A and B are shown apart, each in its own frame.
Chain A
């Protein structure tokens, strides 16, 4: 067993986990933050994307023990003071989802993309979302949402 301490959405948690526990399982089952989804469980679909120490990562392919001491942000930590994060607002305004299963991971990936590149070109948006699969929308409205969110304030 590994004793780990990590900060999730600004709150510090201490937990005892099995060494093989995946970060996504700790987030969902251990902390009850079920906004982070498990899609493929094979590092492909990006539904489990969260931010670890400021970088977007797939939490199905990180051990909880690796995140010991890390600063984690999940989809639940994006809205501030009752206001949606600009990327969340853009997904709402542009109807950038249908079933919604990929949406939390998509939003975390877009927030990561815009942090590195606040004004991406279409090509850079396509490349920046290569780690996330959406099987409903055809991505058209997702790309629209990224453009709306681009250049706005990001916290």
Chain B
């Protein structure tokens, strides 16, 4: 790792000031992606502004129709939270599928959403549930937030503070895990909401996306058979040493059907 200056933020305001004062600074929360990136010398920030210990970012709250999760909440906390398990069980399940136990003990929801890895789990739930991302400056709708591989609507100096999920009628998440890394080779979050069915796919394409053809079909007939003959364009999927485009396109269909069957 290159030399770096570590600063533990005392408050959100302090973190914002530190980011403004140091243009090459990076925020550090759980560090489960950032620290391996630094160890491989793939990034060279001047400062690490540690927001992982900020109490203000650690609360989970529920209102009548919304669940709000602080950006600094750890994956294990979401997986184990009685509030989350009761309000959106599929979200608690998703959090318990991330990485491994040690990673879940440190990794945060805000970090995952800020990083927007194309194979990360949380983006599927955030887009699938039409969540809102709250930052120190504004509210961003999920559909405007995710902008492709590792790209988001976040501006310099902007910090995610909470993610607010509208409660669905029902939801389910199905993931084909990479057996070594635990990342999604392809995973699908299906949500039945007051405004129709939403299907969000992660791991398959360059970024999380909605499979609108399946949403329309499931809106008419909420059953696995409804999507059986539908397909996504394989040319738009990712290809790597683990799976071809065609294989991932097929997984989108299979994972969607499994998720619908679980609703």
- Listed in ascending order, the chain A residues whose CB lies under 8 Å from chain B are 2, 18-20, 22, 41-44, 46, 49, 55-58, 61-63, 65-66, 68, 109, 112-113, 116, 128, 130-132
| Stretch of B98-106, B166-174, B203-211, B238-246 with 4 or more beta carbons under 8 angstroms from chain A | B98-106
B35, A62: Cβ atoms closer than 8 Å? yes
Instruction: Give Cα A59–Cα B50 distance, bound, in whole angstroms.
Output: 17
Closest 7 CB pairs of A and B: A131-B100, A19-B6, A55-B105, A130-B100, A65-B6, A131-B102, A20-B1
Given contacts A19-B6, A20-B1, A66 and B101 within 8 Å (CB-CB): no
A19, B5: Cβ atoms closer than 8 Å? yes
Given contacts A19-B5, A20-B1, A43-B36, A66 and B31 within 8 Å (CB-CB): yes
A109, B101: Cβ atoms closer than 8 Å? yes
Instruction: Give Cα A70–Cα B2 distance, bound, in whole angstroms.
Output: 25
B3, A130: Cβ atoms closer than 8 Å? no
B105, A56: Cβ atoms closer than 8 Å? yes
Instruction: Give Cα A112–Cα B2 distance, bound, in whole angstroms.
Output: 32
A41 contact set on B, CB distance < 8 A: 39
Select the residue from B102, B106, B180, B182 with max chain A CB neighbours within 10 A. B102
**Whose C-beta in chain A lies nearest to the C-beta of B40?**
A42
Mark contacts of B1-38 with chain A using CB atoms, 8 A cut-off: 1 yes-contact digit, 0 otherwise.
11111101000000000000000000010011001101
Interface residues in B68-126 by Cβ distance below 8 A to A read 76, 80, 99-103, 105-106
Instruction: Give Cα A66–Cα B4 distance, bound, in whole angstroms.
Output: 13
A49, B6: Cβ atoms closer than 8 Å? no
B5 contact set on A, CB distance < 8 A: 19
**Whose C-beta in chain B lies nearest to the C-beta of A69?**
B53
The bracket for how many chain B residues form the interface is 20 to 34
Residue B52 is within 8 A (CB to CB) of chain A in the complex? yes
A109, B102: Cβ atoms closer than 8 Å? yes
A57 contact set on B, CB distance < 8 A: 102, 105-106
A-B contact pairs, 22 of them (CB 8 A): A19-B6, A20-B1, A42-B39, A43-B32, A44-B180, A46-B100, A49-B102, A55-B76, A57-B105, A58-B102, A58-B103, A61-B31, A61-B39, A63-B6, A65-B8, A109-B102, A112-B101, A112-B102, A130-B100, A130-B101, A131-B100, A131-B102
B105 contact set on A, CB distance < 8 A: 55-57, 112
B3, A20: Cβ atoms closer than 8 Å? yes
Instruction: Give Cα A151–Cα B213 distance, bound, in whole angstroms.
Output: 50
A61 contact set on B, CB distance < 8 A: 31-32, 35-36, 39, 106
Given contacts A63-B35, A65-B8, A68-B8, A131 and B103 within 8 Å (CB-CB): yes
**Whose C-beta in chain B lies nearest to the C-beta of A63?**
B6
A131 to chain B, nearest CB (A): 3
**Whose C-beta in chain B lies nearest to the C-beta of A59?**
B102
Instruction: Give Cα A23–Cα B36 distance, bound, in whole angstroms.
Output: 14
Given contacts A2-B6, A43-B36, A43-B103, A62 and B182 within 8 Å (CB-CB): no
A19 contact set on B, CB distance < 8 A: 3-6, 48
A116 contact set on B, CB distance < 8 A: 80
A66, B100: Cβ atoms closer than 8 Å? no
**Whose C-beta in chain B lies nearest to the C-beta of A131?**
B100
Instruction: Give Cα A130–Cα B39 distance, bound, in whole angstroms.
Output: 22
Known contacts A66-B6, A109-B102, then 4 further A-B pairs from the complex at CB < 8 Å, ordered by chain A residue: A55-B106, A61-B31, A113-B101, A128-B101
Instruction: Give Cα A46–Cα B101 distance, bound, in whole angstroms.
Output: 10
B4, A20: Cβ atoms closer than 8 Å? yes
B29 to chain A, nearest CB (A): 10
Interface residues in B176-234 by Cβ distance below 8 A to A read 180, 182
